[in-house]
């Protein structure tokens, strides 16, 4: 199971201030194999992180400890995700 964290910006100024910490945090998790991918939405409203190889409680803890969430710059919505394998063999 994978988990998707939708990170909606609440405070744009605070978000800009903690963004470098957020990017370092997500990069460390990706190096550990806990983040599949992450990135901003084109409309500037926030972004998302896809967690893998973690339980739901681990995904929630990782998301809540992300500097953009723990600082209050963004709000979190976490949902389980089951991607389809659309490759044809």
d(C-alpha 57, C-alpha 39), whole Å: 22
d(C-alpha 12, C-alpha 15), whole Å: 5
pLDDT of residue 88: 66
Q: Could you report the average pLDDT of every consecutive run of 10 residues in the chain (89 residues)?
A: 97 98 98 98 98 98 98 98 83
Domains and CATH numbers, the chain: 2-81 (3.30.70.1060)
What is the model's pTM? 0.92
pLDDT of residue 11: 98
CB under 8 Å to 8, separation ≥6 — which residues? Answer: 45, 46, 74, 75, 77
């Amino acid at each position: 199971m994978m988990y998707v964290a939708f990170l909606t910006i609440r405070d744009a100024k605070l978000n800009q201030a903690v963004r470098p910490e957020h990017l370092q945090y997500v990069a460390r998790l990706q190096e550990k194999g806990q983040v599949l991918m992450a990135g901003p939405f084109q409309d500037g409203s926030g972004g998302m992180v896809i967690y893998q190889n973690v339980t739901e409680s681990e995904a929630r803890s990782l998301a809540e400890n992300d500097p953009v969430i723990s600082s209050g710059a963004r709000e979190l919505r976490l949902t389980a995700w089951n991607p389809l394998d659309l490759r044809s063999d």
